[in-house]
């Protein structure tokens, strides 16, 4: 092999072998040592194939802007494996992104950040999409799972940030919003200029109290828009929950998971049909084993309106709410909580994809 070939190959191999996270913005090609020009008579070298690198850095306050950049980059990096679409826009015009990973016929939907202050769940969901995509594209197993083969049978849709306005309010505050909205936002926040605990969307509607699942009987909803708990004037009155509802009906996922915080618990039941009880409990127990989270007991009169409530009741399919992290005072989980929650949850998407394949097979 000629010396310049060794250089290129060596750099590629090195970039594959060097452990640790490679930051977004560096590609394998960019770090190649420039080889001397080949002699005139040699065949011109083809450009080296780009080496996929992790895109999402979840150990940061993960903003809507960063998410938008990262998802576009994932689509670019993994053509044929990743699809990206906007499900619609938030009340303040931010896109509600959905990234589809895989080509399989069994769909799964995993979402995060229905609640603004629970934005660490967006870090988690985006990181899941990124790490699975990297494993599939490089034909590597992830925690023992053959991801590429799995994604020929299932497609996992990730909606990391259902509520980009609420997340932005919690992370950035008023300065990210037009000045003519400030008075309303302050009023809905109870007069405070501290928005870190904001859960609702930008209109003061709690997006996880918006779904048509016994909506009329939701308990403890404020009478007017507020930073938390206001169920809205009607089901799906908020554009964000409406967009996710429409997409879910279009996709018909075999199974869904909605990430929230906090408490390290899993909700899995909502007026579940008796014939689905054992099926759903078995999946919930797998999720519990993977995460170490406890299963919430079945309630006779649960307050509804949640995404998984609606999915379980209306579609008769398994849906789960996973509450990451140790309970705080209602504010966001600290970034330092990410590493452990990631370790607990990093296989959840793969586990649900395996279940989706089984569920689809059973119905056929
Ligand atoms: Zn929540």
Alpha helices in 18-157 (DSSP H): 64-77, 120-137, 147-150
Q: Determine the pLDDT at residue 284.
A: 98
Alpha helices in the chain (DSSP H): 3-17, 64-77, 120-137, 147-150, 164-171, 182-188, 239-251, 274-291, 307-310, 338-345, 348-363
DSSP label at residue 273: -
**Encoding tokens for residue 246?**
């429409």
Structurally, at CATH architecture level, domain 64-167+234-363 sits in 3-Layer(aba) Sandwich (3.40)
- pLDDT above 90: percentage of residues in the chain: 82
245/75 Cα distance (integer angstroms): 24
- Does 59 score more than 60 pLDDT? yes
Separation of 114 CA from ligand 1 center, angstroms?
Answer: 6
pLDDT band with cut points at 50, 70 and 90 for residue 300: confident
Q: What sign does the dihedral 131-133-139-144 (CA atoms) show?
A: positive
**Encoding tokens for residue 51?**
């080496």
Of 14, 23, 12, 142, give the one whose Cα is nearest residue 73: 23
pLDDT: which is higher, 57 or 40: 57
Separation of 260 CA from ligand 1 center, angstroms?
Answer: 4
Separation of 118 CA from ligand 1 center, angstroms?
Answer: 6
Residues listed for the chain: 364
Separation of 49 CA from ligand 1 center, angstroms?
Answer: 42
Separation of 115 CA from ligand 1 center, angstroms?
Answer: 5
Q: Determine the pLDDT at residue 259.
A: 98
Cross-strand partners of 258: 111, 321
Q: Determine the pLDDT at residue 43.
A: 79
Separation of 230 CA from ligand 1 center, angstroms?
Answer: 13
pTM of the model: 0.87
Residues whose Cβ atom is located within 5 A of ion ligand 1: 115, 118, 260
DSSP label at residue 126: H
**Domain-wise residue ranges, the chain:** 1-53, 64-167+234-363
Q: What is the pLDDT of residues 144-156, one digit of tens each?
A: 999 999 999 999 9
What lies within 8 Å, CB to CB, of 274 at 6+ separation is none
């Amino acid at each position: 092999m000629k010396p310049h070939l060794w250089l290129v190959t060596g750099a590629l191999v090195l970039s594959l072998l060097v452990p640790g996270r490679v930051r977004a913005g560096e590609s394998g090609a960019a770090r190649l040592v420039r080889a001397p020009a080949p002699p005139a008579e040699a065949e011109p070298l083809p450009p080296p194939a780009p080496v996929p690198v992790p895109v999402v850095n979840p150990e940061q306050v993960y903003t809507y802007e960063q998410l938008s950049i990262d998802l576009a980059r994932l689509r670019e990096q993994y053509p044929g494996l990743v699809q990206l679409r906007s499900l619609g826009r938030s009340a303040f015009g931010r896109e509600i992104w959905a990234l589809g990973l895989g080509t399989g016929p069994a769909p799964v939907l995993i979402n995060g950040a229905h609640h603004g202050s629970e934005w660490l769940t967006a870090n988690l969901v985006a990181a899941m999409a990124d790490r699975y995509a990297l494993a599939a594209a490089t034909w590597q197993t992830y925690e023992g799972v053959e991801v590429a083969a799995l994604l020929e049978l299932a497609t996992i849709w990730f909606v990391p940030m259902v509520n980009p306005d609420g997340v932005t309010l919690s992370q950035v505050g008023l300065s990210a919003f037009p000045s003519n909205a400030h008075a309303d936002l302050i009023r809905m926040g109870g007069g405070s200029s501290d928005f870190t605990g904001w859960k609702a969307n930008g209109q003061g509607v709690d997006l996880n109290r918006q779904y048509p699942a016994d909506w009329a009987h939701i308990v403890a909803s404020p009478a007017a828009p507020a930073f938390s708990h206001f169920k809205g004037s009607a089901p799906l009155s908020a554009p964000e929950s409406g967009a996710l509802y429409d997409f879910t009906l279009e996709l018909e996922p075999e199974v869904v998971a909605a990430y929230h915080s906090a408490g390290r618990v899993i909700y899995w039941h909502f007026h579940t049909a008796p014939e689905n009880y054992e099926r759903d409990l078995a999946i919930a127990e797998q999720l519990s084993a993977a995460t170490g989270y406890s299963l919430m007991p079945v309630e006779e009169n649960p307050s509804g309106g949640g995404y998984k409530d609606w999915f379980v009741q209306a579609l008769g399919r398994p849906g789960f709410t996973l509450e990451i992290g140790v309970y705080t005072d209602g504010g966001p989980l600290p970034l330092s909580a990410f590493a452990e929650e990631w370790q607990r949850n990093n296989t959840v998407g793969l586990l649900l994809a395996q279940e989706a394949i089984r569920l689809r097979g059973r119905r056929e």
